[in-house]
Structure formats: structure tokens, C-alpha cells
Structure 1
Amino acid sequence: AVSQADCYVSLWLPTATCERSRTKTVRNSDNPVWNETFYFRIQSQVKNVLELTVYDEDFATPDDHLLCALFDTAKLPLDKTVILYFKPAADAKEELEVEFKLEVAPGPHEMIASNGVLVCRELCCLEVEVAEKTKQKSKKELSLTVKGSFEGTQDIVLGPNGVVSPSCPTEFHYIKYAEPTLDVMLPKKRRYHPWSCRYSTETGSPVVMLNSLPMGRKTTIAEEKRFDLNVTAKPCNCSCHQDLDMRFGFNLCSEEMAFLEKRKRYVASALKNVFHLPHDLQDQEVPVVAIITTGGGLKSMTGLYGSLMGLKKLNLLDCVTYISGLSGTTWTMANLYRDAYWSQKDLDSHIGEAQKQATKCKMGCFSMDRMKYYNKQLCQRKEEGYRTSFIDLWGLMIEYLLNDGKDPHKLSEQQEALCDGQNPLPIYVSVCVRDSYSTNDFKEWVEFTPYEVGLLKYGAFVRTEHFGSEFFMGRLLKKLPESRICYLQGMWSSIFSVNLLQIWGLSHSSEDFWKRWTQDRIDEVDEEPVLPTRPHELRTRMYTPPGPLSSALRGALTDRFSVAQHHNFLKGYQLHNSYMENEHFCRWKDTVLDSRPNQLMQNPDQLGMIDAGFFINTSSAPLLRPQREVDVIIYLSYTTGSHTSSLDKACKYYSEQKIPFPTISLTDEDKKNLKECYIFQDSDLPGCPIVIFLPLVNDTFQEYKAPGVKRCCSEMEGGQLDLTSSCSPYCMFSVRYTDENYCKLLNLSEYNILNNSQMIMQALQTAMQRRRQKMC
């Protein structure tokens, strides 16, 4: 006879406890009844989603998944018993009956801090000390575990002659109201049994409920012949944002605000001189102009030098407030910002140094001495506390490609180039990704400035010198030395973070064919009876896990060769109960996990970051934060592929996100034969910037060596550049140019700026007029 199911229910509420609970198994029954009660203490300001999963227990194979319901406990009325029925589908015969009751927990209110998206819970610190009573020559080890804490598991070694390692008290940082426990594995004891003439080994494993400990008072939890084990629980203040070691909000940081005030003076003066204005501009009249770029390796690095040279010659560089980059343009930016006053000087020396590096032989990159250097640097980085990857090696190779020796510079040191507002503020762009998810399904924008590094969607920022250090619940618990900028360049311009799904996307217009293999199956259902809903509550969902074949194929399609790994500064945070209604979160809400808070905040220890070009080849996202109030975007496209592709993708993306961005209207003829400059604007859309689109195309430059100056016959060769063919010397993977090819590319990018100066100035005038109209 075929046996019936052996069912049990697993309950997971990670915002209340890190432990999964489960019922007993009811064997050989098609109508199991458990009648078990579970208690969870929840924080009402946190989004608490209970996952109820029914399994059929198997001994020989993994347990079969029968049903998984994701239920938002915010739907429950207070002090009322509610019985709900969960079905995997509306017409399904199987259903799970669950009784709920929500009550107010006695005791003091928990002190929390929140920015409307993230919640910082009340934190405690447990100190564990070993007081040795007798000195012995043997060595003993204790293993201590606080699940869900920052530290996890730590060991204490009792050495010979009373030496205890570590000598200072062992600390655990944990969420106070998450049912924390201390599990202690005491040293093994050997006992002699005279009746059997044998020894047996015994281990002691006391478990301490940490919330039962008196705050601030030393308590002995284990007394052994050799030592006593003492613990002390202490509170960690986190009741306001000032108690945290990271910035918790969506406004600009105070340093950037101060910079903007200083930069306005440069911009106002430059605009007055360029347009010969009869009076000084008021602060409200000064438009915010930003340069954004696309990536493209050495081509984009060289192209940006030429474009900046053109803006410098037009006296427009001082009109720019921000410059953002990704991929190869970050190489230009990082080199320029070593000089604190680069934009106030002639750029010839910087361009000459860049030419020297772009045209040098790169074979020394693989020499034995260089390999030893790479190994030494990676070992040092690992000793400092970083998790190294191939991306770090790539960063060291970039260091060699762009420099004569070791580059000691760090991103935070670029603050010196901003102290008087003398240069535009640089913003470097990356995206955060997750394992087993394609970049289209999961990506989160990350911005890097000399002041701070942050994830736009969460309003969470750490000081730049602290990026890579270890945080827990907003607290800096382990400070690491700041990374040299070459390691960041490896991440910002990584060509090794591609996966098969992205390769498919390069040759096909859509990934839809693979979505059934790479996306989780989540279906919205109505519980019975249907509970009244409020806007911030999540619909009840049924989750169907992928089968073995789907999981294997998904892994093969989404696995990336290498991803930059940095300690996750969001570790420990939970989501606010109304996070889905927060306007700042919704602005960047575009991943498949956004409505699954348990998975979204199931924070890995490491953040995986890749070149933003693997999503949309543009550095525009941070500049469209409404707090930056950008009026004009100078869009410099150096991409090797279609110039309009990244622009169209950006326009589509921002439209879907309801972020103000002008409609891109280009005819098929324009797309086939691009001009040097286009202006896109939408005056009817509030907050929409004017976009000056400058693709790196070789149009009139073929016949003109300078605006209005035609080439003679002997100069025609200087205007011939192969930018698009597969044999082009400017392909993305080219790491060395000849002097001739470098100069041609530099001159072309400079020429395209100079030749379209009137259109650029027209856009700036329009922006000033809009500013004046707002003042009326």
C-alpha cells in the first residue's frame, strides 16, 4: 500500500527570531492536525511577514515542499482571534488552517531609529569573561554562540599556566528583542567508571536566555572546577540617528551641502562671463549642470579627457557642478582628482600623462615581478580583513595600466579637491547584485563620492573611509583600512562580472524566454476570510520553489565569473512596516525581491557589486535624486555599441520608475546616422532636466579639423577614425593605443564639444530662464 503524507509545518519570522520553528510530524495522514501554539514578539513598526511552509517529511530524500504562504502580520486586528485558511490556489482542495491572535506585549517600549524605509532595532552588547580558578598545563576550548548576533560564534582558549585567549572580554552584539540565546559548548570531560573500567566523554552545553539577564550586572552562568564563566549584558544606544555610525536619510550629506554653496560662486561667475550678463546671478538663478558618461574602457577614458578639454576651452567647465562616471570614465576621474585644482589649470599635463599610459606596452602586467607584487598586495588586503576576489586582482592590473608605479591614493582624499568648491563633485556609480538573480531582476544603485558611499533605495550611507568596514545595525564594529582607489576601479570597471544571461541579452532583445527558469514563482492569493487591507500591507502570497532542474539551470545562467565583495553595511537592519509606501524607496523600487521583505533584508555578509554598465551603460542614476535638483545633463556617450541603446534604456527605465526624464525622440534616420549633438527636454514635466546628448561620432570632423576650419588634402587622414567595426583599434577590450590613434580620438571628442557650443549654451540659457520663472 502507498503511504500517505508525513506532514509538518515550518514557521519563519526572521524579524522576531533567527530560529525557524516547526511542528511535530503527523505521520501517514492526509488530514493532519497539529494543535500547536507558537509565540513571537514582534515590533509593530517593522514589516513582519510570517512564512508558513508545509512539508512532507522524507528520510532518504529532501523533504517535499507542499505549500508556502507569506502572510503580513500587519493585517491582524488587535486583541481578536482570527482563523485564516491558506490555499495554494483558488480551486485547490488542500488548505492550511491557522489561528492568530495579536496582543500588546507588556514591558517598556523598544527604542528604535528609522528613516521610513529601514529600522534600526535596540541593540545590546554581551560581555563574556572567563575567571580561571586553578592553573593547569592542559589546553581547553570553549565555544560560544549567539545566533543572529554580529559575531555569531567565538572561541575562548584556556591555555597552560592561566593564559586565556583572547585576554579581553569576548563581546557579542545582538538585537535585544529577537529572542537571543547564548549557547555554550564547555570543554569535554573524561570520567572513569570503575565498574566497567572505562572512560566516557561528557560535554556541557548550557543555554542562557539573554533577556533574562539583569542589565549592567555581572552574572555567573557556569561554574567549573577550573574556571567560572561570567557574562554582562549592556545596552547600546540607538534611539536616534545621531547614535549611529552611518547616515540614515535621503537628504544630501552636510559636506555636499556645504560644497554646493561654494560651487555656486564658481558657476555663477562662469555663467556671467560666458553670457556677458549685466548683473550677478542670485543663488536661486544658478542652474545645476551635471556631466554623465557611458563606459567603454580606454576609449571612454580618452574620450572624457577630450570632452573636458573642449568644455575648458569654452569656459564652460566651471559651469558644471557634478561629474559622474562608470567603467573607463572612472579612470579619467580618479586621475584628475589627484590634483586638487585640476579644473582651474590647463589640462595638457594630465592629458599628456594619460597618453603616456595609454600607449605604453602592457606586457609587463604579466611579468614575474608584477605577479609577486599582486600576490603581496592581495595577501595584505586579506590580512586587513577584506575578502579578496579576482576583481581585486583586476584592480591591481588597472593600477599598472594607468600608472608607472603603486598608486597610494584613496577616494576620501579627493575631498581636498572640493574644499573650496573649485572642481565639480565626482560621483562614481556601481550596482549591487545578488547570487542566483539576473541583473535585470535584482540590482540596486550604489553611489560613491569622496564624502560617502550609499545605496540610493534605502537612504543608507557610510563615510567613504569606512566603506568596507564591518557594521551591524548601523554601528561600526570593526574598522578596516580604507581601500586604495585601484580596488574600487576594479569594481567600477569590471569586465569579469558577466553571466550567460547577459551574453544572451547582447545577441537578443529580451530575456523573457529564460524568465520561467530564473525567476521565483510567487502568486498573490486571498486568505479566507479576506481581511480588511490598508495601503502599507502586503498581499498574501504563495511561493513555489524551483525544482532541481530549474535550480541548476538558474545557477548556470545567473552565475557571474567574479564579483567585488565588500562587507555589508546594511547588516542587521529591518524594513519599516510602511516601506512600500515610502516615496524615496518607490523611486528606486525595481527588483523582484522588493515585495518580499524577508528575502530582501536577508542580508548576506558581503555586498556583491559590479560595473553599472552590466545594467544600463550610464552613470545618470545618482544625479536624478530630487535632492540634487539637476537642471541640465551633458550626456557624453563613448560606448562601443549603439549610442542610442543606453539612452533608450535609461529613458524607458526612468519612465517605469516615474523619475522625471525627457522623452527621447529620434527618427530611424537619426539612429542610423547620428549627429554630433541633440537636445531633449520636456518643459511640462516638473523636475525634468534638459539632456544634451553628445555621442562620440565621426561626422563633420572628417572634413573639419576645428569648427569652421576645413582640412586640406594632406590633413584628411587625421579625420579618419574607425569607431564601430570589429577591427576598430578603439574596441572595448583594447588596452593600448598608438600615439596617432590616441590623438585622433582625443581631438574628435574635443571637436564635437567645440563644434556644438551654441547648442550647449542654448540649453544653459533655457535652464537659467526656468530658474528665473520659478522665482516669480
Structure 2
Amino acid sequence: MFQKQIPAWIPHYLPDPCQAEDDRPSATCALEEGLSPCHLLTVRIIRMKNVRQADRVSQTDCYVSLWLPTASHEKLRTRTISNCPNPEWNESFNFQIQRQVKNVLELSVCDEDTVTPDDHLLTVLYDLAKLCCRRKTHVKFPLNPEGMEELEVEFLLEESPSPPETLITNGVLVARQVSSLEVHAESRRQRKRGKKRDFLVTVTESFEHTQRISQHLEPGCPKPACFHYPKYFQSQMHVDLPRSQWSCGNHLSFQLCCCGVHKKISPVCQPLHCLSDSQTVTLPAGENCELHMKSTPCPKTLDVRLGYSLCPEELEFLQKRKVVVAEALKQVLQLEEDLQMDEVPLIAIMSTGGGTRSMTAMYGHLLGLQKLNLLNCASYITGLSGATWTMATLYRDPDWSSKNLESAIFEARRHVVKDKMPALSPDQLSRYREELRQRSKEGYKVNFTDFWGLLVEACLGDERNECKLSDQRAALSQGQNPLPIYLTINVKDDVSNQDFREWCEFSPYEVGMQKYGAFVPTELFGSEFFMGRLMRRIPESRMCYMLGLWSSIFSVNLLDVWNFCNTSEEFFHRWTRERVQDIEDEPLLPEIPKCDANVLDTSVVVPGSWLSNTFRQILTYRSFVSEFHNFLLGLQLHTDYLQNGQFSMWKDTVLDGFPNQLTESVNHLSLLDTAFFVNSSYPPLLRPERKADLIIHLNYCAGSQTKPIKQTCEYCTEQNIPFPKYDLQEEGNHNLKECYLLKNSQEPDAPIVLFFPLINDTFQKYKAPGVERSPEEMEKGQVNIYGPKTPYATKELTYTEAAFDKMVNLCEYNILNNKDQLLQALRMAVEKKKLLKSQCSS
């Protein structure tokens, strides 16, 4: 829907992986569309030597399972050879592969058991980019050199007779061709009413997989069942009867009883790769029924935007916002001349989480910035957790930043101090139950975080809020407010946050994952997608459910608790991780001709024991994680995805090197509060496409105030992301100043950061900058933020009026008291922008 299509008359081909490295075009992030041939892969499992024993009772009953998810979701396997340490199979398996995607074959060695589940002994991960066309490759995988255990396999790659496939890629994700299969059943002659027969139709590899269709009895064309499947996968259509209509016999061939006589219906199994586009094919399904099917290509236009650039709507907003920012900067900095559009710095407000504390404190900070006319200087506001409560409330008003915030603060105060028990009354709980039931009917996976969102709505408002995230576009239509961006992380079950996590950003325009360069319109988030195409539209979530997601404090697991107490995961990794051994340089592995330098090392993965697996599941299990339909489903990783600069910028976990385990292969995203990893919302602002010049960091942590900025500095250093160096010497929250200016003069692309920790320093003696408190007013300056009896604990939803006022006044004061630091940072940002302009022009 968003990308620009290349005219069909322009020949455009993707690079050949077997082309010499020096002759290949450099990887770019531009969207590419072109033709690429498919190849046929033959894998011959020859034999194994010295197979390890799964138990001490008998020799292994060995078989090998093959899984290549980029060619088929079905797992194939050899026959089982029992009680043999040196089994020999000589079995061949065929796949049709696309070499523009990262094909990693998984060869799993298993021990078959009759009573208990089969034992998984090990898995070999083999990157098929090592193979060259028309050349047999004979490999002996050294599985255990000490025990002389090895697996012998032969590979043969050949050209496919199928026509070239049209691919769309951004250099990281690849969308392949999809076809739509329409199927309907029709009676050959009129049947009696009540004799209508239903069929279960399964199309392997398709998005829908299985559907029930009814035999059409009346004249006319019935509405067909529709299946969407990748055209170049080895899909098949299978037809079966529901169990309720079985009458004697088995499901391999239908048996129907008619007047006591068994009539067999031959099974229907139709390969789809041989179907011509738009040609109707008729198949018999018993004596009186026919199946009609027709395959047509799906439109090439995608509903998922693949690309790392900002969406057109955001670019348009930034042009409008620059006019507002330029005028505000001229007034605030008392500039003699107007700023040119390419001299306007990009300024952002970055907030952290902390429940009601962060919501309340953010109101005070924004009020202070408004009084200094600095709100109109910012182009972005980012937030997570409780800060999103403030953001979502403010953006219900399209002109909130131009109005006095004191009225909004008064309204927020009314809700924070009110009794929250009515939100848990029986009537309210009954209403929540009905709403969650309706949400489930719409197609969402409902869990406790949805209930939490409804509870937040009841606690922070008086009535049901029908607003949605996409409705906030009204507050951006004229560039009148900063653009809000909300942040979460995507995680996996049974995996530590340290081993896998991905940033997921939400704006009124788009929801997307910056690592993959994949985005969907905000109103389509939660809908079902396949291979970049919209399959089923689900109504957009109300804002309360998004608030529950962004502040999902109940998604904690035992490993998070461990990390909060101890930053090291050495114990967890040592006892619960699978053992991964690189065997690329083992002497038993013969030299293999490599056509592509961008290949993964061959690895042997040995699963953990039953005890360690159970322990890992206990530690990583999350009862209340938010699950949404995965809009990356079906898309595949480009063969050079690891070398793509945009992907590498956010490649920060173990699983990034295991393409079969990344997000494009799962049905649902598992989204958490970002604070479970780091309590900051920097990542959207560090994208090169946004490239913030100045970031105002508003901190609301309950613990160490310097920890989020330190974690961000360390993360950016590891990822080679331009960012100021961490040079704060203070420990904990003692002797902290109200404001810190961080910059990196050695790195021109690094943003300037103005860091505001949440502390109570000079506010104890001054009620306003330069205005001392009287003895009677000293108590109003005593704000207990971190003590054991603090009223601002993260778990607290209700404050007293005095506690609310103190927090708002403190944060407003800290902004106003550091006006000079703020103006200095703004001048530096303007000067930096002008210097960059002069360097570009020269």
C-alpha cells in the first residue's frame, strides 16, 4: 500500500548470491522489487557413525528430522533404524528454495520412543548459502569429535524449471509471491434437503490452513473458501470429512454408509504448483460431488510497509512542525534572523516509566517547559509505562500544548486522589468481563493486561474512552504538537530478555519494528497479516488496551526478579541454555566451496536436560504477556540480513544469528513494558532517519536515577550508535544536581542530552527560582521520593492532594531553575545544525 512499485517494463533483477563478492552491488536499505529464480535442493541423508545413546537401557532407535521453514513448514524425517550405533538410510528429500532468503536447514537427530515422547539428541544448523549450483556437496558433520560421532549428508542444488519469482525486499525482510486459491463444492445432481455434505479442506503452507466448506445443492455460484499460500512453496490441497460425518472406516479414504452399503470415496490430494493462474480445475469428490478450484496471483502491493525511511505522514508532519519550532526558537533564543528550514534542530522530550509517579511528575515537567515556551521547540515526545498515561490523556485534546496545562493537571489530580475501590466493584467487574468477551470475539487474545488497561481507564477517568491511537493524528494535523511515540519490547517464551528482545514503537501514524524496517498503519495493528498482505482486519484497540500494554507491570517473570537483584545471568546461562558448538573449523568437516561470504557458521545445538528445560520454563514463564497478531508473519529474512547496516544497528541478542527463531516465524508478538530491559524510551529517537539533535531526558525511576542514562550509554557504545559518553561521577541518588548537560564533541552525529534526574535539591529551600521559602512553607519543600515510607512507590495508584501537588511543583521548579542550561543546550543545537549546513554546502 505504501511502497512505490517498479513498472513491469523495466527489467530489474536482484543480485545473484553466487556472483563474486566484488561484483555484487552494496547492500542498501532501499525497497527493491525484482525477479529471482528458484532452485531445487536435494538432501540425501546417508548415514551416521557412533550415535550417542539416549539412555543406558538400549541402543538409540535413530532417525533424522529435516526442517527448512523457508521452503516448507512441514518437518520431514527418515525412517527409524532400531538398536544400531551406525544407522544407514540413503534417503533423499527435495525442497524448492529461493536463494535470496536466508535458508538454514535444521537436521535433528532423534531417538524414537514408543511410550514417552521421542528424545531430541541434537540439531545441526547448516546455512545453504554454502552450496553452489549444479555441484554436489558431500559433508560429514562432526557431532562429537571425541566419540567420533558424525552425520554424513549429500547436497545437490539445481535450477528449478519454475519461472522466476517476484520478490519485494528492504534488504532485511523479503516478501514472496502469494497466490489465492478459491475452492467450492458442488453437487452433480439435485440432492434431498438435509443431505448437504461438509468437507474439511486443508491447504498446506497456507495462512488459513483448514476450512470447512459445504456442498452446494442449489444452482448458482456459491461463495468459495479462499486460501492464501506462497506460490513457490510445495503446497498441496487435501480434502477430508469432519469426524462427525465419518461412518465406518478411516480418514485416509472416506467411507459413507448409504442404505447399509459402504461406499468408498477416494481421497483428494492435489499439488498446487502445477496449477495455471486463473484456470478453473474440477476434481471429483465421490459419486455426486465435484470440487472446483482456481488459483490467482495476489496483488504485489503490500499492506506492511517495508523500509527504514519515515512514513510520508511523519515527514509531512515534520515539515509543518519545523515552522512552529523555528518561530519558537527565534523567540526563546532572541535570534535576530529567522532560521532556515535546514537550520532547525530536531529536539525531543524523552521520558521514562514509573507508574503514577511518572504520570504526575511528567505533568510538572511539561508545565515548566510550557512556561519557558520550550514545548513549541520540541518535535517529539517519547514515553513508556506510566508516562504514556500522561501522553495519552493530553493528546485527547488536539491543541493541548497551546493551552495552559494547569487545567489538565487539576483534572489529573482529581483522578489520582480519588478512591479507586469503586473501579473494582461487582458492577464494574461485570462490565469488564463483558468488554473482554467482546474483545475476544473481535479476534484479540485477551489476558490480564487487558483487564489492567480497563482498570487504568477507570482510575484515570470518569467514563469509557472511545479514543484510539490513530485518533491522535488530529493533534498533529497542523504540526501544532510534538509527535508522540510509545515504546515496548517484543520478547519470546522460554527465552531470557538478555537473549532476545526487540524494540517496537507506536505512533499515531504507524506501529513497527525498527530492526526489521517493517511498519503497519496504526489502525491495522492487531489485524492478521501474511507475507506482508492484510488477511483479516480486526477493529483497532481502544486506548485503554494500549495503556495496559505499555505499562504491563504484571508481565514480570522470575528471571526479571533475578536481574533486578543481580545483573549477572551467568547462573541462568550455565544451567538452562542449550549448548551451541561451532563446528565450522573442525578437521573432519571438508572444505566446502562458498559462493557467498555472508554465511552462518555450521553449529551443533544440544538441548538441555529435562531438569534444565523445566528450570528455564519456570524462570522465564510470563503469565500475563500481551499477545498481538504478528504483522511480520510469513515474511522471510534476506540472505544478507546480518550484513545490513540498519539491522546490525539493533542486532543485540543471541537469537539474531538464528534466522529460524526470529520474529517472522511466530504467530503472535509478545509485548512487554520496556522497563523490563531498560527504563528509557531513547531508541525511536536514535534511528538515523530521525537523528535528534537535542534530547531532554526526564527521569522518573524509583531506584538509581543515573542507571537509565548509564544503561543507554553502554547500549549505544556496544551497538556503535552515536551517543554522549557517560561521565557522571555520582553514586546512587546522593549529591545529584538537578540537571546535567551531556555531549560528545568527538562524535558529531551524537545528540546533545539534557538529563533531569528526579531529585529534591534546592526545592527544599526555594519555592520558585530565587524565591526562598518562609519557615511556614518549609514543609512543602520536603518531598520524600525514595524513602521506605515514600508515598510515590511504583505500586501506589492513589496519592493525597498534598503529595500530588508536591511532585508537580518539584518537577516544574527543576525545569524553571535550570532555564540557563536549557537555553545553552538549545543554542548548541542550533549552532551544530548551522555548522552541519555549512559543511554540507562547502
Please, what TM-score do these two structures have when normalized by structure 2?
0.88
Counterpart position of 1:453: 511
Shift in Å, 1:772: 1.3
Which residue number corresponds to residue 206 of structure 1? 268
2:500 aligns with one of 442, 446, 450:
442
How far off its partner does 1:591 sit?
A: 2.4
Q: Which residue of 1 aligns with 2:348?
A: 290
Checking the alignment, whether the CA contact within 8 Å between 1:304 and 1:329 is kept in structure 2 is: yes
**Of residues 174, 185, 195 in structure 2, which corresponds to 1:138?**
195
What is the aligned counterpart of 1:416 among 474, 486, 499?
474
Between the aligned partners of 1:330 and 1:539, the Cα distance in structure 2 is 42
Moved more, 373-382 or 300-309: 373-382
2:728 counterpart (666, 681, 685): 666
How far the C-alpha of 1:671 sits from its partner, in A, is: 4.9
Structure 1 distance, partners of 2:602, 2:775, is: 73
Alpha-carbon shift at residue 167 of structure 1 (Å):
5.2
**Are 1:685 and 2:685 counterparts?**
no
The AA in structure 1 aligned to 2:768 is A
* SS of aligned partner of 1:95: strand
CA RMSD of aligned residues (A): 2.0
Residue 23 (structure 1) aligns with? 78
> Across the two proteins, how many residue pairs are aligned to each other?
767
Query: In 2, are the aligned partners of 1:435 and 1:558 still within 8 Å (CA)?
Result: yes
Secondary structure, counterpart of 1:775 in structure 2: helix
1:561 to 623, 644, 647: 623
Query: Could you tell me how far apart the structure 2 residues matched to 1:708 and 1:473 are?
Result: 61
Aligned residue identity for 1:622: P
Instruction: State the 1:462 CA deviation.
Output: 0.3
Q: Judge conservation of contact 1:574–1:601 (CA < 8 Å) in 2.
A: no
Q: Which residue of 1 aligns with 2:405?
A: 347
Aligned equivalents of 1:553, 1:516: Cα separation in 2: 12
The 8 Å contact of residues 207 and 530 in structure 2, kept in 1 or not, is answered as yes
CA contact 1:13–1:50 (8 Å) conserved in 2 = yes
Post-superposition Cα deviations, 1:237-286, rounded to whole Å, max 9, x if no partner, equal: 32xxxx00121100000000001111011111111011111100111211
Take 1:190 and 1:715, find their aligned partners in 2: how far apart are those partners?
89
- Residue pairs, 1:176-575, within 5 angstroms: 176-186=231-241, 188=246, 204-238=266-300, 243-526=301-584, 528-533=589-594, 534-575=596-637
Gap change, CA 1:620 and 1:378, over 3 Å in 2: same
Letter matched to residue 146 of structure 1: V
Contact preservation (8 Å) 1:575, 1:601:
no
Match status 1:147 vs 2:208: no
Deviation at 1:228, TM superposition (A): 1.3
Asked whether the equivalents of residues 67 and 107 of structure 2 are also in contact (C-alpha less than 8 Å), the reply is yes
Counterpart of 1:232, as a letter, is K
The alpha carbon displacement at 1:3 in A equals 4.8
Letter matched to residue 578 of structure 1: D
Secondary structure of the 2:666 match is coil
Asked whether the equivalents of residues 186 and 215 of structure 2 are also in contact (C-alpha less than 8 Å), the reply is no
Please point out which of 758, 764, 768 is paired with 2:826: 764
Q: Who is 2:213 aligned against? A: 156
Q: Secondary structure at the match of 1:496?
A: helix
| Letter of the structure 1 residue corresponding to residue 86 of structure 2 | N
Aligned counterpart, 1:750: 812
% identical equivalent positions: 49
CA distance in 1, matches of 2:481, 2:682: 19
Question: Counterpart in 2 of 1:654?
Answer: 716
More displaced 10-residue stretch of structure 1: 510-519 or 731-740: 510-519
1:732 aligns with 2:787: no
Mapped to 2, the partners of 1:712 and 1:18 lie a distance apart of 74
| Residue of structure 2 aligned with 1:120, choices 175, 186, 203 | 175
Distance in 2 (alpha carbons) for counterparts of 1:213 and 1:58 = 40
Cα 1:611–1:59, aligned 2, differ >3 Å: closer, same or farther? Answer: same
Q: Give distance in 1, aligned partners of 2:362 and 2:201.
A: 54
2:57, 2:365 → 1: CA distance? 75
Paired residue for 1:587? 649
Taking a change above 3 Å as real, the CA distance of residues 201 and 666 of structure 1, as seen in their structure-2 partners, is farther
Say which SS state the counterpart of residue 149 (structure 2) adopts: coil
Residue 204 (structure 1) shift: 4.5
For residues 264 and 819 of structure 2, the distance between their equivalents in structure 1, rounded to whole angstroms, comes to 83
Aligned counterpart, 2:140: 85
| C-alpha separation in 1, matches of 2:680 and 2:83 | 58
SS of residue paired to 2:133 = coil
Distance 1:342 1:725, change over 3 A: same
- The letter for the 1-side match of 2:769 is P
Q: Partner letter of residue 135 of structure 1?
A: R
The residue identity in structure 2 corresponding to 1:107 is S
Cα 1:670–1:331 shift into 2, 3 Å: closer
* Runs of at least 5 residues in structure 1 that lack an aligned partner in the other structure: none
Distance 2:497 2:520 in 1: 24
Q: Does the residue aligned with 2:541 lie in a helix, a strand or coil? A: coil
Offset, 1:378: 0.8
List alignment gaps of at least 5 residues for structure 2: 1-55
Equivalent in the alignment of 2:738: 676
Give CA-to-partner distance per residue, 1:91-133, whole Å, 9 cap, x none: 4401111111211212310011000000101100000111123
- Deviation for aligned residue 1:604: 2.2
Aligned partners of 1:517 and 1:592: how far apart in 2?
A: 16
Q: Distance in 2 between matches of 1:120 and 1:444?
A: 20
* Cα distance change of structure 1 residues 293 and 577 upon mapping to structure 2, 3 Å threshold: same
Residue 226 of structure 1, CA deviation:
3.6
Q: Which residue of 1 aligns with 2:24?
A: none
> Residue 65 of structure 1: which of 113, 120, 132 is its match?
120
Give the structure 1 partner of residue 8 of structure 2: none
